Amino acid sequence: MRFLPLAGSLALLLTACSHQPTPAPEHQAGDITPATSQETRAPAGVALLRGTLSWQGGETRFSPCGSQQQWQLLADGSLTQAWQAMGQPESAYVELYGNLTLGDSRDSPLRLTSKRLNRLSAANLPQSCTETAADSRLILAGEQPAPWAFRLSGNSGVFTSDGLSRTLQLKEQQGQTTGAQQMTLMATDGQQATLVLTPGLCTTDGGQQAWGWQASLSLEGGEPAYQGCARQGHLLAQLQPPLQWRGHWELMRADLALTLTPHYESTLLLVRQQGPQVLYEGAWQPTADGLTVLFNRRNDMGVREAIPFRLQSNHLTADYRLLNGGQVDFDSPLSLVPGTLGSVTPKPAAADTPTAAPLPPSLSAASTADPQVEQALRDYFVMSRSDPHQASYRYGLLDLNGDGRPEALVQMNWCSGGQCVWLIFQGQSQGYRFAARIEALAAPFYVASHTQRGWHDLLAPGSAGSWVQLSHDGISYPVRTQGAPLAPASLLEGATQVSFGQGAWRHLP
């Protein structure tokens, strides 16, 4: 085995991004501490993840063990250097400390930024993910002055060398989390040992593995120090929060089932009183006071959403969610408790069906103000924390979901090049609630008779005279027309043309 110095510049980056994110505050990702009753969960914003890396076409992807997800990886220097030292393999098994964030757009994969390498292996990829070392706090191995190994579980560890083994108890630990760590250990016969860990790459198995720590273990009696490599055990699952949570979202009239996995994947299932179930998919990230769930798929369509939860007294509580770069407050705090919704399982999305309700041939802007529409707009400005000053609007009413209550289609004067922001408010028994925001939508556009998940498709102008299809995913319409699929010409038959060009702009009173 050999040690790899970390000094010096790195010429190769394992990411195709053209810019680097703002560095996050230094986290205590390298803490190696005994398992005691005072021990806390993972350091804020940092998780120890296991999975496979693949390098294709200049881009690096990470897939958690046992998962089909692929996250974009922004590699730190230690991971880059270890990969170079192994001959730059196209795929490898990795354990790393990192933090997860949303991608740049609704269709982007989640982004994993590595902070420190724990282990990189170019061999035995399938077997590595099935290893079970979760009960081991610390794993060490070396060849000098003779082959040796040490495995620390909790406060007790077993040292082996030359066919002999002895139990060592952890008595004291000193040092800073970002620098060298020194541990004092005691054998059952009273012999004392000193273990020193230094952050730095250390290769083993003939260069086929790189571990994140260099280790030196000295025993009393003048014996030469044992030199080798160190890494943390897998996942430390006992430090993670409960993995099953349940709750209720009153505004959506839905029961919630949040599932976390030990490999930091997450799903959120909404079981609504009316309408199809909605399934969010993504990942979760530990934070200083709880965790954040991040989602980039909703009913198999791209989204960009996150919910920061506080963890207190075995409750998860959230005051807001992050939606497409903006903050949207919940009408009342979202609260989850450990548990499941019983036998509820995700249902497939409702089949696409044509609606029997006839649509009018066209929709023009309403000629009079509607106090309930105005109130919905005021609520939207409060919810989105935006200023209604100089904002103007015009609106029309059309039943988009076939429930007999018309939705309010609102065109805002936030326009550029003939493309404007449109807001859709769902009709309720009393008033309206926000349902969708569509940006850069040109008029006229069409409301098709065809429906998906109970809502009419919208047909928006595309390029070169084409039309693109905006389909409801059970929660909302897409935010942008860019990237939407082309609409077949048959959908224009019997569609309602929406054009407010002759309507007067209004200001909120």
Pairing of strands 59-64, 209-219: unpaired
Residues 122-142: what's their mean pLDDT? 73
Asked if 178 and 189 count as a contact pair (C-beta separation under 8 A), the reply is no
- Cα distances from 127 to residues 42, 123, 186, 317, in angstroms, run 25, 9, 34, 38
- At residue 120 the predicted structure's pLDDT band, cuts being 50, 70 and 90, is very high
| CA atoms of 12 and 88, how far apart (whole Å) | 10
| Residue 444, preceding peptide bond in cis (omega within 30° of 0) | yes
Nearest 5°: CA angle at 282, between 277 and 283? 130
Domains and CATH numbers, the chain: 1-21+36-239 (no CATH), 240-338 (2.40.128), 353-507 (no CATH)
Asked if 452 and 432 count as a contact pair (C-beta separation under 8 A), the reply is no
Instruction: Supply the pLDDT for residue 46.
Output: 67
Range name among 129-133, 146-150, 202-206 with the lowest pLDDT average: 129-133
Taking only the tens place, the pLDDT of each residue in 402-437 is 888 999 999 999 999 889 999 999 998 889 989 899
Residues of the chain above pLDDT 70, percent: 83
Taking only the tens place, the pLDDT of each residue in 172-194 is 888 654 467 889 999 988 889 99
Residues of the chain above pLDDT 90, percent: 37
Taking only the tens place, the pLDDT of each residue in 217-255 is 998 876 788 999 998 875 444 457 788 999 998 878 889
352 pLDDT above the threshold of 90: no
3-state SS record for 423-484 = EEEEECCCCEEEEEEEEEEECCEEEEEEEECCEEEEEEECCCCCEEEECCCCCCCCCECCCC
Residues 254-272: what's their mean pLDDT? 91
User: What tokens appear for 297 in the block?
Assistant: 């798929």
Residues 381-401: what's their mean pLDDT? 88
Instruction: Supply the pLDDT for residue 135.
Output: 59
31 closest CA partner among 177, 175, 176, 197: 177
Asked if 55 and 91 count as a contact pair (C-beta separation under 8 A), the reply is yes
Which amino acid would we find at residue 200?
G
51 pLDDT above the threshold of 80: yes
In degrees rounded to 5, what are phi and psi of residue 380?
A: -65, -45
Asked if 111 and 74 count as a contact pair (C-beta separation under 8 A), the reply is yes
Higher pLDDT among residues 60 and 10, named by residue: 60
| CA atoms of 187 and 221, how far apart (whole Å) | 13
pTM of the model: 0.65
